[in-house]
Amino acid sequence: MKVLADLPGWRAFRRNPMSLIGLVLVAVVVCSALFADLIAPYPSHAGSIGDFAAMDAPPNGKYLLGTDTIGRDLLTRIIYGYRLSLEMAVVVLAITTPIGVVIGLVAGYLGPVWSYVLMRLTDVFLSIPPLVLAMSIMGFLEPSAIHGMMAVAAMWWPWYARLTYNLTRAEKQEGYVLAAETVGAGMPHILFREILPNCLPAIFTKMTIDVGFVILIASSLSFLGLGAQAPTPDLGSMVADGAKYMPDSWWLALFPALAILIAVMGFNLLGDGLREAADASR
Amino acid sequence: MPEAAIPSGTAPPGPSTTKRRMSPLLQTLIHRLVASLVVLVGVSMLMFAVARVIPGDPARIALGPNATEAQVQALRHERHLDQPIPVQYWEYVRELARGNLGNSLYSNRPVRVDIAQYLPATLELIFTAGLMIVFVGIPVGVVSARYRGHWGDHVARVASIICVSTPAFVWGVILQLVFAYLWPLFPIEGRLTASLPPPPPITGFFAIDSVLTGNGSALLDTLHHVALPALALALAGIGQTARLTRASMVEIYQKPFIEMAHAFGFRESRIANRYAFRPALVPVLTILGLDLGALLGNAFLVESVFGWPGLSRYGVEVILHKDLDAIVGTVLIIATGFLVANIAVDLLVVLVNPRIRFARGRS
């Protein structure tokens, strides 16, 4: 904690109750995903096997959030759903961020021709509404969690290209870049050792917020039946399945829906808090 | 030097150097139309590439595993799939230019006819949601900024974050559960009560058609049906717009001209609604244009919750049936609509922001 307290911005972060709520929500979601095997009450219910004696049970002492139509514990499935959602978010961001950042750096640093070509390329992707682009890519693939990740990744990199492009354009004017150019540094050195480190805080902040939004888009895809397939515990498809049994089995749709809300909101609040703290410490 | 960063072709700001022949509105329009055309060609190439790059023979995928080899060959020839890629693209663009989006294998009709049938329902939903975003989101942001730090401001901010963080289908399910099942204020699904005959299809918008034919009961019934799905669709945008309007207004409040207005002793409401509001609107408008993209995408989710007979049901069906022409056609129509809406937003920004008079519109 001593180290944390010395970090610039931590005090500003700590003063904002919203950021702390975000941190707590994110901690809950991440811990559920990491330790799902330990904390889930009925780990076997993550698959297709349930407790046939307790089918479609409302929330009770044994099954805190109730059970689904084949007697699987809803809490267990939500915890494993968080694991899948976070895996998807991490994979998507790990693929898209480097691609977008490199394109943004090159377009921002090189002359107007490059920036025109590369930025029009991002325009093409950004001119299709995100969910529609992901859906249309799924149109050519078999629905599955892996393909869902690919579809979401295909639409995500332009945002990082845009962000890095704008940051690079601003950094390019700074004296340190001119100094590096004057002593004859090569382009890779200037891009990755000089400019990139100064863009990283903004990129990391965006990544934090985006974990939430990747979860949101991925769950939207699977809600439409275009993502992970049964019996994989996926929050979006759990809501879709549960919605068929409303209003009698209201818990089936409501709790997975709230679980998505908690995860997305947590990463949103945390990201906002990080940005404000970074601004305050500057 | 900052000047070095301005791409060639962009005149430096300042009234003395700009050509004053063309109105800024027209200039922006031409500039944006050219850029949009480039983007649209790019979208067509992208969708074409996606449809061809994906492993598997499009003709085989389209016909399904039960088709004979001869049928597959025939379709391949008909769609020019047996020719080199550039020829294929050329044929595809030529058909597009004639307004031909191909035939849907799912419905056995031209894709254009399918889209014309399903699009009005979706647009009706999106327009209603757009009105809710503008007439709820912006006022909430303005009032929140005026009373910043007040408890009402905090409530509005928390509510905005919850709205932004919730997928449209989650709102759909929650609103449907509460306001249609548990407390039946609104119908559960559909566009119109089944016993009512739909108004004659003049525009395809039930609300407008019922007004045109003077059918009051159909109008009320339409509005009653559209309210809940439109709200589910709008909530994320309302939160986003309220947040952005607030942030933008708060920034404007720091400006000297607001201080001067205070010094003159103008009433708070006048300062908020006139002097701070107009400049604050510029970034909000731009984001509203982008939000429309989210509305177009999220409409798919909301329609499937509320059984809304729009483009979504069609879109999901053609995706599950691997109906290539229909998928590409639907995406092209949506992308075109999105681009047109954003051009309209850019023109509005020119109208609202007098400073653009002195600088050419951005690329």
* Chain A nearest C-alpha distance from B273 (Å): 28
Q: What was the pLDDT predicted at B10?
A: 42
* Phi, psi (deg, nearest 5) at residue A228: -55, 145
Give the C-alpha separation, B30 to B42, whole Å.
18
Give Cβ neighbours of residue B279 (< 8 Å, ≥ 6 apart). B252, B255, B353
Q: What is the DSSP string of B275-318?
A: IIHHHHHHHHHHHHHHHHHHHHHHHHHHHHHTT--SHHHHHHHH
CA neighbor of A135 nearest in space, from A149, A151, A122:
A151
Q: How far apart (Å, rounded) are the C-alpha atoms in residues B77 and B83? A: 8
Could you give the C-alpha distances from A85 to A6, A215, B29, B106, in angstroms and in order?
A: 33, 6, 42, 32
Predicted local confidence at residue B7, as pLDDT: 41
What does the buried/exposed string (b/e) look like for A127-148 if buried means 16 or more CB atoms within 10 Å of the residue's CB?
bbbbbbbbbbbbbbbebbbebb
Nearest CB neighbour to B165, from listed A137, A173, A265 = A265
- Comparing CA positions, the residue from B57, B61, B52, B55 lying closest to residue B86 is B52
pLDDT of residue A4: 55
**Residues contacting residue B13 through CB under 8 Å, at least 6 positions apart:** B358, B359
**ipTM for this prediction:** 0.84
d(CA A22, CA A1): 19
Is any Cβ of chain B less than 8 angstroms from the Cβ of A136? yes
User: pLDDT value at position B354?
Assistant: 66
User: What pLDDT is recorded for position A91?
Assistant: 93
More confident residue, A193 or B52: A193
Q: What distance, in Å, lies between the first and last C-alpha atoms of chain A?
A: 22
pLDDT of residue B2: 37
Residue B254 reports pLDDT greater than 90:
no
Q: What is the mean pLDDT of residues B349-363?
A: 61
For residue range B295-330, list pLDDT tens digits in order.
888 888 899 889 888 887 788 888 877 777 788 888
Structure tokens at B224: 């009653």
User: In terms of pLDDT, which residue wins out, B13 or A271?
Assistant: A271
* Residue B167 to residue A136, Cβ atoms within 8 A: no
Give B15's pLDDT tier (boundaries 50, 70, 90): very low
A108 neighbors B287 (Cβ within 8 angstroms): no
Name the minimum distance, in Å, from the CA of A3 to any CA of chain B. Answer: 31
From the list B308, B295, B311, the residue with the least C-alpha distance to B238 is: B295
**Whole-number pLDDT of residue B8:** 40
User: What is the per-residue burial (b if ≥16 Cβ within 10 Å, else e) of B187-226?
Assistant: bbbebbeeeeeebeeeebbbbbbbbeeebeebbebbeebb
* Chain B residues with CB-CB distance to A121 below 8 A: 42
Give B168-224 pLDDT, tens digit per residue. Answer: 999 999 999 889 888 888 888 888 777 777 777 777 787 788 877 878 788 888 888
What distance in Å separates the CA atoms of residue B229 and residue B24, rounded to the nearest whole number? 39
Report which of B239, B238, B225, B241 is spatially closest to residue B303, judged by C-alpha positions: B225
Query: Residue A231, preceding bond cis, omega within 30 degrees?
Result: yes
- Tell whether the model's pLDDT for residue B11 goes beyond 70: no
- The answer to whether A72 touches A154, Cβ cutoff 8 Å, is no
Would you state the pLDDT for residue B171?
A: 92
Mean pLDDT per segment of 10 residues, for chain A of length 282 residues? 58 79 93 88 78 78 80 89 92 93 91 85 84 82 84 89 90 87 88 89 89 90 85 88 85 91 92 81 63
Q: Is A216 within 8 Å of B293 when comparing Cβ atoms?
A: no
Q: Does A35 touch chain B (CB under 8 A)?
A: no
In 3D space, the residue among B135, B146, B154 whose CA is nearest the CA of residue B277 turns out to be: B146
**Mean pLDDT value across residues B61-90:** 77
